[in-house]
Amino acid sequence: VKAHSIGLRVNINGIDYREKVPSDITLLDYLRKNRQLMGTKKGCNAGECGTCTVLLDGRAVYSCITLAIQADGKKVETIESLGDEENLDPIQQAYVDAGAVQCGYCIPGMIMATKELLNNNSHPRAQEIREALAGNLCRCTGYRQIMEAVELAARNMSGGGTEKDHGHESYPNENS
């Protein structure tokens, strides 16, 4: 059966798009092929590794198991919405400073999961960080430096301060 085309209206990193897309194209393939946003990586393509994580209306989702049309009328944020090489976003800078990047393949997804966490909880506890990143696999780092990177980002973004629990509204990657 051939997929039919379907109208899509979506805001990606602040820009509105309106076009026809195949009804079965994943959000990941749409971002990479149609929008040339190559920062979102394809690992397992099966909802298991997290490297394709993007924010959909602020929630971290696996874009490989999300259809592009599920983003209709919504806001998508990808790693390209953060900083660039000259001007890193505080989360990206913290990953560099903590030595949390080895091969780098998992990092765009890790950073988007981190962004969701810190948007909702500026002072996450270690257990909350572990839960927020539980859906993102890294083959290289052993996770310790990644935990440190998230803690460092939280400190830098809140200007230090005391540890407070702001609650945790949602976990990423539990999209069904």
Q: Which residue ranges make up the site for ligand FES (CB under 6 A)? A: 42-45, 47-52, 62, 64, 101-107, 138-141
Minimum gap (Å) between residue 167 Cβ and ligand FES? 27
DSSP 87: B
Q: Which DSSP string do the residues of 5-52 spell out, in sequence order?
A: EEEEEEEETTEEEEEEEETT-BHHHIIIIIS--TTS--SSSSSSS-TT
Minimum gap (Å) between residue 72 Cβ and ligand FES? 20
Q: Which is nearer to ligand FES, 134 or 163 (CB)?
A: 134
Structure token pair of residue 161: 């301060």
Minimum gap (Å) between residue 24 Cβ and ligand FES? 16
CB 91 within 8 A of CB 132: no
Furthest-apart CA pair in the chain: how many Å? 58
The residue type at 44? C
Minimum gap (Å) between residue 67 Cβ and ligand FES? 13
Minimum gap (Å) between residue 162 Cβ and ligand FES? 31
Residues in contact with 166: Cβ distance below 8 Å, sequence separation at least 6, in sequence order:
120, 121, 122, 123
